[in-house]
Chains A and B, each alone.
Chain A
Amino acid sequence: MLTPASEQAERIATLTNYFFVAAAAILLVVTLLTIIFLVKYRAKPGDNTLPPKIFRSRKAELFIVGIPLALVSFFFVLTLRDMRALEPGADTQHPDVIITGHQWWWQADYPGTGVVAANEIHLPVGRKVLMRLRSADVIHDWWVPELGNKMDLIPGRSNHLWLTIRKPGVYEGACSEFCGQQHAWMRIRVVAQTESEYKAWLAAHAAPAIAPAGELAQRGATVFQEKTCGNCHRIAGTEAKGDAGPDLTHLSSRKTLLAGLMDNTAPNLGRWLNHPQQIKPGAYMPDFLLKPSEREALVAYLVQLK
């Protein structure tokens, strides 16, 4: 929120600045009065005269109610104005992307394109984007501080969020509503791209997975089938059509593994497949007790999925 990069985040940042100025002024007054009174009215040793009694003062009471009332009324008006601007409603519009929260990763569906992504969410800059937010299990919360407001993903409800990203870049966020054991590793990477780059990305990701090249990778594809990985994961263009875990069609195009837990490299992928519960305890990925040769083949297959 300190470096706003969307129209919405800028609006909130401006409002926050107004608020901080008012808050700082109030804090200053209270602190100064406290210190001045402490210094000025500190009892002198041995002085036993009774200070004057002041039971009340109508004038002062008018002041100490009037000023805060005026201030909160001012901020209430700003609240109404900005709330309407940030949340104009979304009854009929089709979303650009549907985000589904899972324990502990993000699924992104791009309606009309067939593209399914996970954890790295690509969005276009310069235009208003509508996101639909849903949950597959417990409550999660979308928060990318540089891009503006949070919104909860609640099972049984469908929420939405408007975003107008100003400039291309990578913006980090995280799930912000406690969602269980691995809440800390449910991070978001928003990749904001120009419209043409975004279109190109969509086109590339609409394509099915490339066929495994080389003997090792081909063996890996077989392992993938035999170990029933496809019950939970989808790889477009193959038998694997599961939707409980992240889509792996273009796994290698992603920067990180496990929603931000580690870099997406072949050795890391191997470590994860070896002992999932040591890398991300609580995750729904079972330990398949892969033989080293099987693991090696599987990694070779997966790193090719660009």
Chain B
Amino acid sequence: MMKQWTHIPEPEEQLPDAATERGLLMWLSSVDHKQLGIMYLLASLLFFLLGGLLVLFMRTQLAIAENDFLSPEVYNQFFTMHGTTMIFFVLTPAFLGMGVYLVPLMIGANEMAFPRLNAFSFWMALFGGLLLYFSFLTEGAPDAGWFNYAPLNESNYSTEGIHYYCMGLLLGGIGTVGTAINLIVTILHMRVPGMGYRQMPLFVWMMLVTAFLILAAFPSLNAALAMLLLDRLLHAHFFVTANGGSALLWQHLFWLFGHPEVYILILPAFGIFSEVFQVFSRKPIFGYGFVVASGIAIALLAFGVWVHHMFTTGLGNTVNAFFAASSLLIGVPTGVKIFNWLGTMYKGSIRLSVSMLFAVAFLIEFTIGGLSGISFAIVPIDWQLTDSYYVVAHLHFVFVGGSLFGVFSGLFYWFPKMSGRMLSERLGRWFFWLFVIGFNLTFLIQHVLGMMGMPRRVYTYPQLPYFTLFNFLSTAGAFIMALAVLTLLYNIWRSLRKGEPAGADPWDAYTLEWHAAAPPLLKNFERLPPVRSARPLFDLKHPEQADWKKQEG
């Protein structure tokens, strides 16, 4: 009754050989998807520490009213670099890294479709980020904000750093698009026989949708960056109004990319949580088709909502009404997923590992971030609250409480697979609680600051009632988060040296990557169990209660 083991063919091209390991050179020249995935994650970690350091300086400056710890020049460069770094060089490579590491393993392939393109993409992304940071050695880092509005981004209003912003993002963008193509071809063509679209792990599904989003969104950003470079270097005037250009054109081009980018950074997290909720509730996902369909719906709607970043630019009620409707609508497929995950926990057998703790915290934090997001779709509320600290709070609840919690949850879940060793759950719980407490202390209060009238991106503020108190609490929270990150770093370092060996399947999990050795050998799989449902390893371990029986019966 059990199907024959599926034979996985040897890759045709010779891959670098761990047997003739030559240390660093092996990593630098690697085209192995696992090594590249880890390098992506390390690059992401490097930029995370840099971007985090910047924000500690910023929060110190903002701790009290009319502080002069940082000059306005430096503060503006720091907040620009913080945002640009976290979006383009922390969250993006973190998810792409998890994607290139895990997708082949989860679909039962031994490599990505284009191993060399994989290496090329990674190095482009890394050098894009390094080029961006090189700007600190010039006249000044970019200082016009991460969305870099025209005409402030033109050479007469901002530093030379904007050139590095353009070039860095273009390079990073080439890498991102390359990896997106690679993921799409890999997922479409290299799945193990038996894995149809209904048997694909949800993380793979979300990476597929994300990759299509990247392909459709990045051209708009690249066009805008090229136009800006022409403006700045060759005196074109795409965005210079005095010569007939349009300042708003930048906003349209940027947000046509920028809003899908938000979903590029949240859909992979949705994928991670979908795996984590299943495994640690010991149940299949509640509403598999629903999760997939809502992911696709989000991706399609994502291209019709960008003007909600521009409700105060005076485009008129007709335009605003259209984009209010689409922005309200996109909240629905995003919101329903919360209930898919709650439904997965329902009647489950829940194990509260650190990975699951982050998933559970995400449910609540992301609901807060999603709801505050809805308030920007309601145009009159947006007119009050946009560009205030309420937005700062909102976007951090989404990017941290959503995306970053996804990275952390995935890290604790897959670290044993990547390294062969367990992270300490005890240290992990310290990390979790410190981070969650610090995070909420920092950002909950910022909703109120925004409503009280504090605009975003100010290097200081006057002595108004409660402003110092609330900002001081916010700063304290940031330092608690920094402390938490130190415990995470220690945890990783300690685990790599003397962590408990993990074994191939420490979580009693369901998807194919747990069938590979930990860490996986250069060739991921020699053979695989048959895939007849979305939980092939569950079927293998519980042949009598296999998922496919119920589905087919």
Contacts and interface: CB of A to CB of B under 8 A. Distances in A.
Contacts of A75: 328, 374, 377-378
A15 B378 contact: yes
B385 A1 contact: yes
Contacts of B253: none
A150 B387 CA distance: 9
Contacts of B377: 72, 75, 79
A280 B380 CA distance: 34
A183 B457 CA distance: 8
B542 interface: yes
B312 A152 contact: yes
A41 B331 CA distance: 29
Interface residues of A, number: 85
A281 B73 contact: yes
A213 interface: no
Contacts of B200: none
Interface string A133-148: 0000111010101101
Interface stretch (A61-69, A106-114, A214-222, A267-275): A61-69
Contacts of A73: 328
B128 interface: no
Contacts of A175: 455
A281 B74 CA distance: 11
Interface stretch (A83-91, A122-130, A228-236, A285-293): A83-91
A225 interface: no
Interface string B312-347: 111001001100110011011001101100110111
Interface in A197-218: none
Interface in B90-112: none
Contacts, number: 272
Contacts of A9: 384
Contact of B371 (A23, A42, A152): A23
Contact of A155 (B241, B349, B351): B241
A286 B70 CA distance: 22
A147 to B, nearest CB: 10
Given A12-B380, A82-B380, A26 B371 contact: yes
A86 B317 CA distance: 10
Contacts of A182: 72
Contact of A176 (B324, B388, B545): B388
B151 interface: yes
Interface stretch (B24-32, B417-425, B459-467, B514-522): B459-467
B152 A159 contact: no
B152 A178 contact: yes
B331 A139 contact: no
B352 interface: yes
Contact of B332 (A1, A69, A83): A69
Interface string A69-81: 1001101101110
A43 B379 CA distance: 45
Contact of B331 (A16, A68, A89): A68
B194 interface: no
A176 B157 contact: no
A178 B145 contact: yes
Nearest to A3: B452
Contacts of A150: 312, 383-384, 386-387
B363 A30 contact: yes
B348 interface: yes
A103 B410 CA distance: 45
A172 interface: yes
Nearest to A178: B457
Interface string B265-304: 0000000000000000111101111100000000000000
B289 A56 contact: yes
B138 interface: no
Contacts of A254: none
Interface stretch (A44-52, A94-102, A296-304): A44-52
B4 interface: no
Secondary structure call for the A interface:
mixed
Nearest to B459: A184
Nearest to A282: B72
Contacts of A137: 151, 157
Contacts of B455: 141, 143, 174-176, 183
A178 to B, nearest CB: 4
Given A72-B328, A83-B317, A180-B152, A2 B348 contact: no
A55 B336 contact: no
B83 to A, nearest CB: 11
A271 to B, nearest CB: 15
B247 A155 contact: yes
A83 B349 CA distance: 48
Contacts of B325: 76
Given A19-B378, A83-B321, A179-B152, A55 B284 contact: yes
A27 B367 contact: yes
Interface in B372-400: 372, 374-375, 377-381, 383-388
Nearest to B464: A172
Given A56-B286, A148-B384, A155-B151, A30 B367 contact: yes
A176 B392 CA distance: 13
B543 interface: no
Contacts of A148: 383-384
A11 interface: yes
Interface string A156-190: 11011000000000001111111111111001000
Nearest to B152: A138
Given A51-B282, A61-B336, 18 more contacts: A9-B384, A15-B378, A23-B375, A26-B335, A27-B364, A27-B368, A38-B345, A54-B343, A72-B377, A79-B380, A83-B317, A139-B149, A150-B386, A156-B245, A172-B464, A174-B453, A183-B457, A184-B461
26 contacts: A12-B381, A16-B375, A19-B375, A23-B371, A27-B364, A30-B338, A34-B345, A37-B342, A37-B345, A41-B281, A53-B545, A54-B284, A55-B287, A57-B287, A68-B335, A69-B332, A72-B331, A78-B378, A149-B380, A152-B312, A152-B313, A155-B241, A174-B453, A174-B455, A176-B387, A260-B462
Q: Which 7 A-B pairs give the minimum distances between C-beta atoms?
A: A156-B241, A149-B383, A184-B458, A159-B314, A72-B328, A145-B453, A178-B457
